[in-house]
Homo-oligomer: A and B are copies of this chain.
Amino acid sequence: MTSSATAVWDIFELALDGPSEGNPFLEVELAAVFSQGSRTVRVPGFYDGEGRYIVRFMPDAEGEWRYETSSSAQALSGKTGSVSATAPRAGVHGPVRVANQFHFAHADGTPFLSFGTTCYAWTHQPLSEQEKTLSTLAKARFNKLRMGVFPKDYPYNVNEPLHDVYQRKADGSFDFDRPNPESFRHFENQVKALGDMGIQADIIMLHPYDRWGYSGMSEAQDYRYFAYLVARLGAYHNVWWSLANEYDFLLNTKPMEQWDRFFSIIQENDPYDHLRSIHNGDPEANYDHTKPWVTHSCIQNWDVKRTGEWRAAYGKPVVNDEPEYEGNIIQVWGNISAQELVHRFWITTMRGGYAGHGETFSHPEDLIWWAKGGELRGEAWKRIGFLRQVMEEDAKNGFEPIDPKTRYPWNRVSGARDGDTTIIYFGEHQPVIWASGLPKEDGDYQVDLIDTWNMTIEPAKVVPAPANHPTRHGAVVAPTRPDSAFAVELPGRPYLAIRVRGAR
């Protein structure tokens, strides 16, 4: 029996030597049960090649955890030991969970407001490009990254990957019964690098943009792939499972029951219960996110004023990972202006959802952030970082839309509240005075004007609330009480927001 120490939400890795003959990926089963008091956690192990087997455990509570392995191979079975879990390292808050129905928080309760971006195939680019991606992420303020396990074959994505994801046979063809551990080790190192920066890795497990055959594996191979990936990566605290990008473009070969089964396989092999979602291609082809194994709705839709509809339809957090990308390429999903993408982020956020960023600027060497990472060339990312800062300053339970049914005027402008903070985003609207949604009682409020593009926050000019004119719609006489205790004077230009903080 061996003993070691690790911090809560870090990884304890148990490496064991075992059989290497035959195909251990297929033939050897390994798991360990970790226990603390009456709690037991069953953790699957995986084969790492060259006779090496690994079980990775992420403790979620301090104190001693004892373990014992079980395996179909005698050499790997009955190994026992203990791990002493110490307090989490500073800045480590644990896996992200759903909190307050429509929002997220880390395991320690710290709110997590998703401000993601997308670099689908960044781990398959030359290492110098991957370094650039990490440097860029270090200066940007994104806290989630959509990234695929498999390389990408698509317009602007024609280069070969750094590593084969599966091993090759003597004839050069792939052996989809033998994952390439080198590829997975590299991928998980980059997941860890993101974790160290506080960035969630939204791992896309399958996608249709393929010329290698990865999207055409057999059903049994797919299931083994899911189990292998989850066994390898589940212990990383910053993992989210995204079953696919544009899963609906794969429905001709992988029917809906198979997607449902993928979810089960993840659940069976992930003792940490990381977030699980699935991303659509066609806006009309959303997976049924009400299914109980889906933790949050992943949406691809440009029509962000509909965020409330998706909240209502699925009753779960809405992450709109593709409200179109900032860029200028020929594809229409990849050529909106920076202003428009920032606008869509604000609208989504103020309607109780979370948006995702991507950047698709035409480049002579096809170095495009959305797929390859590297450098950001646009203007939206800074403003999205500013939005994140604004939201994190006041988020407690999650900003909820002022009127979740989005009735007038909230079907036109967007506003949200969390605790005693209200933020109203006007977008294309440019009133010179505003009152709706402001507090109805007098109080010692702090009222600020936010310029979402120029990224400034300054005290707003508070003026007396205009008394309602007694409009007469037939026999209906509106009350003469003002909408609010005060109004805010505004400069009459678009893309502004106001923030009202409660008496303090």
Contacts and interface: CB of A to CB of B under 8 A. Distances in A.
Contact of A154 (B409, B466, B469): B469
Interface string A206-220: 001111000110000
Interface in A242-259: 246, 249-250, 252-254
B474 A411 contact: no
Contacts of A324: 412
B428 A337 contact: yes
Contacts of A434: 330
Copies of this chain, whole number: 2
Contacts of A433: 329-330, 362
Interface residues of A, number: 61
Given A332-B408, A409-B332, A250 B431 contact: no
B335 A473 contact: no
Contacts of A331: 409
Contact of A250 (B332, B335, B473): B473
Contacts of A466: 330
Interface string A357-373: 00000100000000000
A185 interface: no
A394 B303 CA distance: 31
Chain A, interface SS category: loop
A413 interface: yes
A430 B252 CA distance: 33
24 contacts: A155-B471, A210-B472, A215-B472, A216-B474, A250-B473, A250-B474, A252-B476, A253-B474, A329-B431, A330-B432, A330-B487, A332-B413, A332-B431, A335-B431, A335-B432, A336-B429, A336-B430, A337-B428, A337-B429, A337-B430, A337-B493, A340-B428, A362-B432, A362-B433
